[in-house]
Structure formats: C-alpha cells, structure tokens
Structure 1
Amino acid sequence: MQGTIFGFTEAQITEFGMTYGVGGLMLLMIFIVGHLAWESKVGKFGTFVLFLGLTFGMVGYIAKYFIQHYMKI
C-alpha cells in the first residue's frame, strides 16, 4: 500500500479530479454566469453574449475530452 492514498494511486486521483472535479467546476461556472445574466436583466441577446464570452474557454477543454475518447488515448 505504499505510494497510495486511501488505496488509490496518484494517477487515479488525478484522473478523477481532471474528469469530475473540473467538470463540476465548469457546471458551477455555467450556473454563476446564468445567475449573473438573470440578476443584471440583460435580455436574451445579452445572456447569449455573456455565455459566449465567459464560457468559451470550456469549449477547448470539452473538445479535448472528446478527442481523447475518440482516439482512445
């Protein structure tokens, strides 16, 4: 059991965190942007612009996950 934390290796903990931890934080960010749009009453176009601008960085991370899954890396 040496080199493990609660029976998990470092690689397993990293894989779990990068998959579910970052995914959960991305979901939280979507809710925060939605709440920001609702509180500021920006309308449909303003909400679209907020989501486009503030969540565009997630597209690359999500694309990376699907590319890895498709290429079986």
Structure 2
Amino acid sequence: MDWIQAAWPNPLLSILIAAAIVHCVAGLWATAIATRKGYAYLQWLVIGLIGGSFAVLLSRRLSDRNS
C-alpha cells in the first residue's frame, strides 16, 4: 500500500481524477447519442467534453435528424 500513497500523495487528487474521467466518459456518451441521431460529431464532442452529464441529458432530448 505504500506505493499507492507514493503515487497518490493526496486522496483528493485521486477523487478529482476519477471525477474528470467520469465527466469525459459522459461527454463521449453524449457524443455517441447525438451522432446516432444525425448531429455533427465534432460539435457534440466539444459540447460533451465541456458539459459532461448535462450533455447526456440534452442529447437524449434531441429530435432524430436521420428520418
């Protein structure tokens, strides 16, 4: 366990890193949802990486452009 404390001296840092990873995964998920509905990939990648969980909720409400 000493090597963990050497790598992560501050437990808050590990929590922040985990939260950032979850935030970015949610952004990628929002991008996938919006792209499947016919919206621009790059635009939703930026929106998703900035918005995180809120972008997922927003992308779920989008209308389908494919039909």
TM-score range relative to shorter protein: 0.3 to 0.5
- TM-score scaled by structure 2? 0.46
- TM-score scaled by structure 1? 0.43
Q: Which has the larger radius of gyration?
A: 1
